């Protein structure tokens, strides 16, 4: 049980490239903290610095108020679950779980009691005599967790623990991890690139990009109030639509529609002539008769492709992108590990609506639900508005 | 159909090669069981007319052979243990650490392994006599180590390199010191490599002839391969061939036993299940 503090932590490799750059983070006692970001953002490096497998170039890491920079991993009393589990193949499941206790020379009786208790929790009791090579992926995962919970570690660290499991098992193990953490109430740092894991597991989520911390917030805040375009684009699936907009005479001119935004939004835009407008796919609704809010913006567009998934439905609406808007977006797409295929709007529609590709549909959205970003810095201008 | 024909051909080739390789061995065994008198019989036969243990009796009664057997075991076992221990640490360092001169070290090791032994015999003979270790166990163990180590280091570092880094890291996070991680996790995982290396080294020391004959002069340190060349029959007038063959059979037995015992361990694959694969 301990809180973990990172203060201006920097990791620089031999070539001077900062893999982690000036990250400060307070993880409260018992908190479930998620480190998330696209690959290469430094989240695993950060975790390995906490556990002691990577040296800290600058800054300070404290666990329970004690500086641990110079401590060897074994003296930090942290438990870690590795991405590929790192089970000891020459030992049985029992001995794998007992390994940390054996290293501390605990009496046999106590080892047995603790291991059996952990096995009970993780439903591994009937597998205790087997070897890791005879276990399924999910079972191996549980053994790795057993090795972590069997000792009274100050905190748990998970390094993408579910990425080697298939989708169905991943969902199960996710709830399992959450339940376990809630029950043990132990400080947990969890690294993932999967935003579903990030949103469902974390008390708070720390989003990293190129080694720099972008935002630390509860999942809901991250979703509803992203500080910049990167956060907005990373969180949410399908991702937020980014539409380049021209500001002209108090009007926002998007490729699909022009309208007069609420005054407080306009005030935030200031004298910028170009901004980026972010709209989540689910903020759009089809216009069927009346029922529009007073400020709602309506427009018409042609549907290119429809994806109907039963419980949801996505429509893709291409639009013509104005010249010169690409560079900001291109850079963003690169950071997000995705490729910018074409300029199109993704909207989530009521699956009950019968829409086919080629249809022209009328859509509307509430301009209060939109985010306006600075084109240069990507900063969210509409934070706290509305 | 095509596939079946191919596999038949493989079988035929296999049998041919096996016969080629086994023939001298069989001949050795058959000679070992022939009596010294009948071995020059007018109508020679491949298998002995009469199987006899007489030759084994002869060699085991001979102090020359029993002391050589003792020397062989002693020298080979000591050299093997030393080589494996030293090679294990060296190989681990090479597999896991980045240090200046690593490539140089590896190529030097390889160069030593390729060095012609015959070129060293003369100088060693003089040096050993000067140092007073001529005709001692130590005098043989040192050159054996020299020539066994490079290969041992190469083999073992290949094995260590296959073990994922996460193994040590997990052990360290679990509370192990680097030494504990090495001893309790890495060494057991590298066991097939260690056994392979140990067996190869043992074979090398067991079979080595050149140093054994050049650096020894008496029963004190002479090993079996060297001793065999000094064999005479029970009397001067008797051919020693059958006795030599019996001795050869005796010294082949430990090798065969070693291979049979460790055959399963030599087969790698112990690391399966360590990581998802």
Helix (H) or strand (E) holding A134: none
Q: Which residues of A237-258 are buried (b: 16+ CB within 10 A; e: fewer)?
A: eebbbbbbbbbeeeebbbbbbe
pLDDT per position as a tens digit, B256-266: 888 888 776 66
SS3 B179: helix
pLDDT per position as a tens digit, A136-160: 888 998 999 999 989 888 999 999 9
Whole-angstrom distance, CA of residue A77 vs CA of residue A195: 28
pLDDT of residue A341: 55
| Domain definitions of chain A by residue range | 4-227, 230-374
pLDDT of residue A290: 60
Mutate to test the interface with A, among B159, B164, B175 (most CBs of A within 10 A): B175
Domains and CATH numbers, chain B: 7-52 (no CATH), 61-266 (1.10.3720.10)
- Superfamily classification of domain A230-374: Nucleic acid-binding proteins (2.40.50.140)
Tell whether A131 lies on the interface with B, counting CB pairs under 8 A: yes
Q: Identify the CA nearest to A350 among candidates A291, A273, A295, A277.
A: A291
Q: Looking only at Cα atoms, what is the longest distance across chain B?
A: 77
Q: Output the CA torsion sign for B254, B259, B260, B262.
A: positive
The pLDDT-based confidence of A385 (bands split at 50, 70, 90) is: confident
pLDDT per position as a tens digit, A93-142: 999 999 999 998 999 999 999 999 999 888 889 999 999 988 888 899 89
> B183 φ, ψ to 5°?
-75, -40
| Residues of B with Cβ-Cβ distance to A106 under 8 angstroms | none
Helix (H) or strand (E) holding B146: helix B137-162
- Cβ-nearest to B273 among A53, A103, A131: A131
Q: Tokens 């290119």 appear where?
A: A304
pLDDT per position as a tens digit, A241-273: 888 888 888 888 888 888 888 888 888 888 888
| Residues of B with Cβ-Cβ distance to A132 under 8 angstroms | 273-274
pLDDT of residue B237: 65
Q: Looking only at Cα atoms, what is the longest distance across chain A?
A: 79
pLDDT of residue B236: 65
B276 pLDDT more than 70: no
Pick one of 3.50.50.60, 3.40.50.300, 3.30.470.20, 2.170.150.70 as the CATH number of A4-227. Answer: 3.40.50.300
A to B CB pairs, distance under 8 Å:
87
What is the distance in angstroms between the CA of the first residue and the CA of the last residue of chain B? Answer: 35
Do B146 and B211 contact (CB within 8 A), yes or no?
no
In the predicted model, what is the mean pLDDT of residues A61-88?
90
- A103:B175 CB<8 A: yes
Given the DSSP bridges, would you call strands A78-81 and A155-159 parallel, antiparallel or unpaired? parallel
**Closest approach of A101 to chain B, Cα-based (Å):** 9
pLDDT of residue B270: 42
Whole-angstrom CA distances from A332 to A212, A224, A327, A338 are: 15, 19, 9, 9
User: Which residue from B minimizes the CA distance to A141?
Assistant: B276
Interface of B with A in 159-178 (CB under 8 A): 164, 166-167, 169-177
pLDDT of residue A189: 94
A314 pLDDT more than 50: yes
**Closest approach of A261 to chain B, Cα-based (Å):** 53
- Cβ-nearest to B173 among A73, A87, A88: A73
- B166:A52 CB<8 A: no
Whole-angstrom distance, CA of residue B13 vs CA of residue A377: 73
B84 pLDDT more than 90: yes
Tell whether B187 lies on the interface with A, counting CB pairs under 8 A: no
pLDDT per position as a tens digit, A182-207: 988 999 999 998 888 999 999 999 99
Tell whether A362 lies on the interface with B, counting CB pairs under 8 A: no
Mean pLDDT of chain B: 84
Query: ipTM score of the complex?
Result: 0.79
Q: Quick one: what percent of chain B has pLDDT higher than 70? A: 90
Mutate to test the interface with B, among A83, A89, A166 (most CBs of B within 10 A): A89
B200 half-sphere exposure, CB direction, 13 A CA radius: 21
Residues 6+ apart with CB under 8 A from A36: A43, A191, A192, A193, A194, A195, A197, A198, A205, A206, A207, A208, A234
SS3 A307: strand
CA B245 to chain centre: 20
**DSSP string over B196-225:** HHHHHHHHHHHH--HHHHHS--STTT--HH
- B173:A151 CB<8 A: no
User: Which residue from A minimizes the CA distance to B272?
Assistant: A133
Mutate to test the interface with B, among A45, A48, A54, A74 (most CBs of B within 10 A): A74
Q: Identify the CA nearest to A29 among candidates A176, A133, A184.
A: A184
User: Which residues, in sequence order, are bridge partners of residue A299?
Assistant: A363
Burial (0-12, 13-18, 19+ Cβ within 10 Å), A76: buried
- B177:A74 CB<8 A: yes
Within A225-278, residue ranges assigned H as helices are 229-234, 263-269
Whole-angstrom CA distances from A63 to A4, A51, A181, A189, B93 are: 5, 10, 18, 12, 32
Residue with the larger pLDDT of the pair B197 and B43 = B197
Residue with the larger pLDDT of the pair A334 and A30 = A30
pLDDT of residue B54: 84
Q: Quick one: what percent of chain A has pLDDT higher than 90? A: 37
Residue with the larger pLDDT of the pair B30 and A332 = B30
User: Which residue from A minimizes the CA distance to B276?
Assistant: A84
Mean pLDDT of chain A: 88
Tell whether A289 lies on the interface with B, counting CB pairs under 8 A: no
In the predicted model, what is the mean pLDDT of residues A204-224?
92
pLDDT of residue A298: 87
pLDDT of residue A219: 93
């Amino acid at each position: 049980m301990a809180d973990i503090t990172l203060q201006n932590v920097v990791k620089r490799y031999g070539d001077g490239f900062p893999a982690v750059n000036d990250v400060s983070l307070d993880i409260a006692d018992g908190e479930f903290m998620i480190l998330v970001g696209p690959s290469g953002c430094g989240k695993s490096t950060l975790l390995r610095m906490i556990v002691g497998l990577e040296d800290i170039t600058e800054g300070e890491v404290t666990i329970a108020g004690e500086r641990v920079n110079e401590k060897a991993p074994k003296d930090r009393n942290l438990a870690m679950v590795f991405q590929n589990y790192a089970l000891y193949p020459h030992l049985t499941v029992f001995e794998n779980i007992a390994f940390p206790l054996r290293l501390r020379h605990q009496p046999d009786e106590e080892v047995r009691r603790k291991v059996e208790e952990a096995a009970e929790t993780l439903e591994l009791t009937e597998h205790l005599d087997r070897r890791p090579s005879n276990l399924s992926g999910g079972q191996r995962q549980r053994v790795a967790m057993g090795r972590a919970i069997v000792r009274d570690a100050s905190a748990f660290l998970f390094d993408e623990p579910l990425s080697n499991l298939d989708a169905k098992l991943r969902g199960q193990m996710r709830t399992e991890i959450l339940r376990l953490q809630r029950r043990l109430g132990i400080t947990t740092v969890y690294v993932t690139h999967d935003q579903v894991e990030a949103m469902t597991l974390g008390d708070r989520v720390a989003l990293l990009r190129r080694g720099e911390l972008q935002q630390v917030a509860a999942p809901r805040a991250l979703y509803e109030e992203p500080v910049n375009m990167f956060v907005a684009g990373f969180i949410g699936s399908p991702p937020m639509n980014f539409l380049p907009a021209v500001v002209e005479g108090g009007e926002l001119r998007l490729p699909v529609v022009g309208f007069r935004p609420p005054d407080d939004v306009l005030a935030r835009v200031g004298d910028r002539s170009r901004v980026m407008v972010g709209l989540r796919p689910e903020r759009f609704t089809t216009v069927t008769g009346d029922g529009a809010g007073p400020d709602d913006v309506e427009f018409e567009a042609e549907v290119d492709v429809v994806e109907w998934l039963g419980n949801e439905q996505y429509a893709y609406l291409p639009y013509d992108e104005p010249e010169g808007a690409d560079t900001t977006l291109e850079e963003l797409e690169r950071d997000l590990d995705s490729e910018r295929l074409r300029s199109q709007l993704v909207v989530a529609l009521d699956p009950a609506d019968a829409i086919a590709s080629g249809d022209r549909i009328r859509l509307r959205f509430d301009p209060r639900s939109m985010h306006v970003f600075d084109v240069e810095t990507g900063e969210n201008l509409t934070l706290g508005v509305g | 159909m095509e596939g079946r024909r191919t596999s038949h051909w493989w079988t035929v080739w296999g049998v041919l090669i096996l016969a080629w390789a086994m023939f001298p061995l069989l001949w050795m065994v058959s000679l070992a069981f022939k009596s010294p008198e009948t071995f020059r019989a007018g109508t020679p036969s491949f298998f002995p007319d009469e199987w006899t243990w007489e030759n084994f009796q002869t060699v085991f009664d001979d102090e020359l052979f029993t002391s050589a057997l003792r020397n062989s075991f002693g020298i080979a076992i000591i050299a093997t243990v030393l080589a494996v221990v030293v090679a294990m640490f060296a190989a681990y360092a090479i597999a896991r650490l980045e240090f200046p001169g690593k490539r140089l070290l590896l190529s030097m090791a390889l160069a030593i392994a390729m060095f012609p032994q015959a070129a060293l015999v003369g100088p060693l003979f003089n040096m050993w006599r000067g140092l007073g270790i001529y005709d001692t166990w130590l005098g043989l163990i040192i050159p054996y180590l020299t020539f066994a180590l490079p290969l041992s280091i190469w083999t073992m570092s290949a094995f260590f390199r296959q073990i994922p880094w996460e193994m040590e890291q997990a052990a360290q996070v679990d509370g192990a010191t680097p030494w504990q991680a090495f001893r309790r996790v890495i060494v057991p995982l590298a066991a097939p490599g260690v056994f392979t290396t140990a067996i190869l080294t043992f074979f090398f020391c067991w079979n080595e002839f050149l140093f054994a004959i050049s650096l020894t002069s008496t029963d004190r340190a002479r090993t079996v391969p060297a001793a065999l060349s000094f064999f005479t029959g029970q009397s001067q007038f008797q051919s020693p061939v059958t006795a030599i063959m019996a001795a050869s059979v005796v010294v082949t037995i430990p090798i065969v036993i070693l291979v049979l015992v460790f055959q399963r361990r030599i087969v790698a694959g112990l690391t399966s299940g360590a990581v998802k694969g």
